[in-house]
Amino acid sequence: ALAVAVDGPVEFRYVPADASVVAYANIREVMLSDVRERIRQIALDDIGQNELQSQFGLDIEHDIDHMLAFLSPGVEGRLAGLVLFRGRFDTTRLEGVVRAGGATVDIYEGKRVVSVDTDEAGSLAMVFMEPGLVAVGDLSTVQQAIVRGSTTSDITSNSNMMGLLDLVETGSNAWAVGRFGDLSALGFLPDEVSAQMPAVAAFAISGRVNGGLSGSLSIEGRDEEAGQNLRDVLRGFLALAAMQTTGRPALQTMVDSLQLSGAGAFATLSFWVPSDALDLLLSLSDES
């Protein structure tokens, strides 16, 4: 599933071996789907698209084919992350946009790095890793990715993380995998969530947007007992969801599609959200 999703392992050489979360999205397929039009109607900031275009000149709908992102523990307990965009870019125009916003351009390891200081996230940077590949993230992480691109120490050397990719369904146009043991070092999880982490070791979620939304969520417990507890919790969730959707056909169809499976330390929940149920969920989100 992985090779199909990202068209080869090129981007992985920029992802650190200690990455806790890795996520992918086929932007082109999602943007061309009717689901995108539904989301557009309720998104207040177009899902961050306006900010990305104003700061870096990146047009998600027209410039980008797919993206790969990661989170990893940073220095002094700070969160480190990077987004790699694959697409078609006018380098001169993009650099002009960020420089007009007060950015500076420096040469680092032979790459032109455009950076700008922000109050919230420190120095944000953008660099053209190679033709058709742009990286955006905090300055330190961008610089590390530049160096990593010329070495052999990357996410592919982490067998635990790479093994999670076997749980990604073939044909998915969006997925994310992560290990909770590493996430505790990121320092961004709420205390009530962190308190539940000891029972969970890892997760893999994948989906395909095509009219509706289908996919699966796999959770790995710390051991077989934790896996059984996870399956019991999910069974309780399914029973509650079935009661809550009685008399609501659109939501009932979605709940009826939920299938629980798994053995040992694993619990897997597959789902299908048809277009009418998705419309209802989005309308409820809009009301809230």
Q: What is the pLDDT along the chain (288 residues), one digit of tens a residue?
A: 343 344 445 689 899 999 999 999 998 887 776 666 655 554 544 545 666 777 778 887 788 999 999 998 877 667 789 999 999 988 888 888 888 878 889 999 999 999 988 766 678 899 999 999 999 999 999 999 999 887 768 898 999 999 999 899 888 889 999 987 655 555 555 565 556 555 789 999 999 887 778 899 999 999 999 999 999 999 999 999 888 888 777 778 788 889 999 999 999 999 888 777 766 666 665 555
Burial state string for 41-57 with b = 16 or more CB within 10 A and e = fewer than 16: eebeeeeeeeebbebbb
Pairing of strands 64-73, 266-273: unpaired
Instruction: Measure Cα distances from 98 to 74, 139, 179, 219, 232 in Å.
Output: 25, 14, 35, 40, 51
Q: Are residues 270 and 251 in the same domain?
A: yes
Q: Are residues 254 and 240 in the same domain?
A: yes
Structural domain containing residue 73: 10-155
Q: Among the three residues 104, 137, 155, which one is the final residue of a domain in this structure?
A: 155
Q: Are residues 148 and 177 in the same domain?
A: no
Q: Are residues 160 and 258 in the same domain?
A: yes
Q: Among the three residues 123, 155, 187, which one is the final residue of a domain in this structure?
A: 155
Assign 174 to helix, strand or coil. strand
Residue 2 domain-assigned (yes or no) = no
Q: Are residues 114 and 218 in the same domain?
A: no
* Cα 7 from Cα 5, distance rounded (Å): 6
* Cα 5 from Cα 24, distance rounded (Å): 8
Q: Among the three residues 128, 155, 182, which one is the final residue of a domain in this structure?
A: 155
| Closest among 26, 10, 13, 2 to 155, alpha carbons compared | 13
| Cβ atoms 175, 167 nearer than 8 A | no
Q: Are residues 268 and 234 in the same domain?
A: yes
